[in-house]
Amino acid sequence: MTSRFPVSARLFDSTAKRVPAGVSSNTRARAPHPIYFERADGAHVTDADGNRWIDILMGNGAILLGHNRPEVQDAVRAAAAAGLTTGIETAAACALAEKFLSIVTTMDMVRFTNTGTEAVLHALRLARFATGRKRIAKAEGSYHGWSDEAFISVWADLSRAGAVEAIQPLAGTPGQRGELVSETVVLPFNDIANSVAAIERHASDLAAVILEPILIDIGYIPATRAYLQALRAACDKLGIVLIFDELLTGFNVAPGGAQEIYGVIPDLATYGKALGNGYPIAALAGRKGLMEMLAPGKGPVFVGTFNGHAMSVAAAQASLAVLADGSVAAAIDRRLKGLKEAFHADAAELGFSAVMHGQGSHFQWYFTAEKVVGYRSAATSNASAYRAFVQSLFDQGLLVLTNPLSHHALSAAHGDDVIDRLKEAFRVALKAAEEALR
């Protein structure tokens, strides 16, 4: 069969012999072959066949300011021209730390890494050192990177996951260390009674409780304030380190992230994504008493050749300069609200059980009559309806993810003209989803 994307098909045929599935990250694999890209600008990307797509993936939610944002690109070019790359500390990284903490005012200190996975690993190790305990509790459906320690019970098989009173931790991938999986305590998101009971049951062994305060990697599911307050109170009472993974919420749902919205302050928090607008940088921030343990000779080792890389630091300085007052993210949120309203009006007209959740730049659709409050209710989203919906969006020139429990994103470059096109595309796709279920 000839492909709609002959150049991508040819690239795949030759590349797949050298690169497994022809991609560097499994989420980019696609049947019958991946699409390869050559250019990006604002809200659009152009593939190797010359097709121009509306991007609603935006670098897994990282590119909040849009592709090829001039302030960010100029800063990166200037940093490259200065000749510094990595392995020694820079004045720019000092300035970035100051800017970061002037925006995230709830945190005392910060260190930079390259990826969220690394930042989370440092947070967990620091928590184990500070408490002298080894086990970690995490929320079901919450994603914290691909490590053996944290990639547990994210997109779990519910037929094996047990009841919410005693959730069975499940490996995220073959090849994972079984003892790390079975040691993990999995909490039912937004279920105060069962989460607090599980924390209390394992308290003497628990170093940390970690969660995304808004589950975004499986769509968009906000915690209730009462839930976060209950976790905060339990951790305080039992001497456990509370960690918010703000990779997706940081600088996005509010300049100071979810903790600014909720008024619940964790002991440690991880950041990334919008921090560098597509350049590889992440951060671990936290309370002074804990973060000071990262100094040499005081506690766990925290090293990395590329930590505080000059180009990524430059990208982050430029990004935070734009994001600091919150007006850019608020404008994106206003456009997202318009999109959600149009989607809900169209769904109501069709009499179809579909909701669109989201805030800041992040959003996702669920095709279910159940109220989506955690992983288990999100998993009731009808997969056939979702597949028909995203296939229609794809056919209309939108970049989409095919897993019903994934997320999509806008950016500052998704202006009113693009939003109007999205409204129309969502309306057409809703009809396709509704027809798929008839």
Ligand X SMILES: Cc1ncc(COP(=O)(O)O)c(C=O)c1O
Residue of 22, 59, 145, 172 interacting with ligand X (CB under 6 A): 145
CB of residue 239 vs ligand X: minimum separation in angstroms?
A: 25
Given a contact cutoff of 8 angstroms between Cβ atoms, the answer to whether 429 and 389 are in contact is yes
Q: Does 266 bind ligand X (CB under 6 A)?
A: no
Options 139-147, 201-209, 222-230, 393-401: segment touching ligand X (CB under 6 A): 139-147
Options 115-123, 186-194, 333-341, 385-393: segment touching ligand X (CB under 6 A): 115-123
Tokens (6 digits) for 265:
């302050």
- DSSP class per residue in 136-181: EEEETT----S-TTT-BSSS--TTTS--TTSPPP-BSSTT--HHHH
Q: Does 149 bind ligand X (CB under 6 A)?
A: no
Q: Phi/psi of residue 326, each to 5°?
A: 80, -5
- Touching ligand X, residues 205-224 (CB under 6 A): 212, 217
CB of residue 306 vs ligand X: minimum separation in angstroms?
A: 13
Q: Does 116 bind ligand X (CB under 6 A)?
A: yes
How many residues of this chain interact with ligand X, rule: CB under 6 A? 15
Q: Does 247 bind ligand X (CB under 6 A)?
A: yes
CB of residue 83 vs ligand X: minimum separation in angstroms?
A: 27
Q: Does 275 bind ligand X (CB under 6 A)?
A: no
Peptide bond into 32 cis (omega under 30): yes
Nearer to ligand X, 26 or 204 (CB): 26
CB of residue 421 vs ligand X: minimum separation in angstroms?
A: 26
Chain centroid, CA 93 distance in Å: 24
Given a contact cutoff of 8 angstroms between Cβ atoms, the answer to whether 58 and 64 are in contact is yes
- DSSP class per residue in 341-376: HHHHHHHHHHT---EEEEETTEEEEE--SS---SHH
Given a contact cutoff of 8 angstroms between Cβ atoms, the answer to whether 354 and 367 are in contact is yes
For 23, counting Cβ atoms within 10 Å of its Cβ (0-12 exposed, 13-18 middle, 19+ buried), the class is middle
CB of residue 246 vs ligand X: minimum separation in angstroms?
A: 8
Residue of 154, 214, 248, 315 interacting with ligand X (CB under 6 A): 248
Nearer to ligand X, 329 or 347 (CB): 329
Ramachandran sector of residue 251 (left: φ over 0; alpha: ψ -120 to 50; beta: rest): left
* Interface ranges with ligand X (CB under 6 A): 60, 115-117, 120, 143-145, 212, 217, 245, 247-248, 272, 282
